[in-house]
Amino acid sequence: AQKVTQAQTEISVVEKEDVTLDCVYETRDTTYYLFWYKQPPSGELVFLIRRNSFDEQNEISGRYSWNFQKSTSSFNFTITASQVVDSAVYFCALSPPNTGNQFYFGTGTSLTVIP
Amino acid sequence: EPEVTQTPSHQVTQMGQEVILRCVPISNHLYFYWYRQILGQKVEFLVSFYNNEISEKSEIFDDQFSVERPDGSNFTLKIRSTKLEDSAMYFCASSWTLNTGELFFGEGSRLTVL
């Protein structure tokens, strides 16, 4: 079974604080892709990152960083020095192979950054 | 930068009416998808489409739903007789290949059924 769990439903932080959004996934496949998407209030899905299960190197992009731990089936997302514009719902997603690009999304974490 | 475009951005309809949501995938893509997000919930896969036929579909995609690629550019989702629970954001997506996770989402069409 494929499943993505985002246990944090809502998080509030004060601007400039760091925040980590957790993502835990379940799959029996040995190869797969993991993703993070941002959904601002306007509703569109904004692609943030794609990670191949073979690549366990952590990645940093500006204020964003991702920590992929295959041993614990986690793919956590950290925003450093948060800004008000980071306020959105963030979705983690899993795409196993041979499913025709079916994405399994988590339930999302709603992040509010307070000025 | 090429993008997936969807129309309308928001549609309000009465229960029982037929609705067609339209999508223009990225031009050289071969695989097309519809996903659905009920307000406040997660995004769920509905259907994938390739070579003018459905490749995969979820349990959500029942007989009231259909997809079509009527010409070389549009990809449509039809809901025959809308129900209140069809109110959701519908995302179209496209990809050049399968199983690489390179999916490009449109901005979504919000459907409200009254």
Q: What is the dihedral of CA B57, B59, B60, B65, to 10 degrees?
A: 50
Q: What angle do CA B79, B80, B81 make, to 5 degrees?
A: 105
Query: Is B41's CB within 8 Å of A107's CB?
Result: yes
What pLDDT is recorded for position A24? Answer: 98
User: Per CB distance under 8 Å, which residues of A are interface residues toward B?
Assistant: 33, 35, 37, 42-45, 47, 50, 52, 91, 93, 95, 97-108
What pLDDT is recorded for position A102? Answer: 86
Instruction: Give residues with Cβ within 8 angstroms of B72, minimum separation 6.
Output: none
Residue B84, classed as helix, strand or coil, is: helix
Mean pLDDT by 10 residues, chain A (115 residues): 94 97 94 92 88 86 93 95 96 87 92 97
What pLDDT is recorded for position B112? Answer: 97
Query: Is B103's CB within 8 Å of A99's CB?
Result: no
Mean pLDDT by 10 residues, chain B (114 residues): 89 97 94 94 93 92 94 92 96 86 88 97
Q: Does B39 touch chain A (CB under 8 A)?
A: no
Query: Is A101's CB within 8 Å of B107's CB?
Result: no
Cβ count within 10 A of residue B72: 6
What pLDDT is recorded for position B1? Answer: 67
* Alpha-carbon distances of A42 from A39, A45, A84, A99, B33, rounded to whole Å: 8, 9, 15, 29, 21
Q: What distance, in Å, lies between the first and last C-alpha atoms of chain A?
A: 41
Token pair 């003018």 is at which residue? Answer: B52
Query: Is B55's CB within 8 Å of A93's CB?
Result: no
Residues in chain A: 115
Which chain B positions have a beta carbon within 8 Å of A92's beta carbon?
Answer: none
Measured between alpha carbons, how far is B69 from B32 in angstroms, rounded to an integer?
9
CB B39 within 8 A of CB B88: yes
B45 Cα to chain A: minimum distance (Å): 6
Query: Is B43's CB within 8 Å of A91's CB?
Result: yes
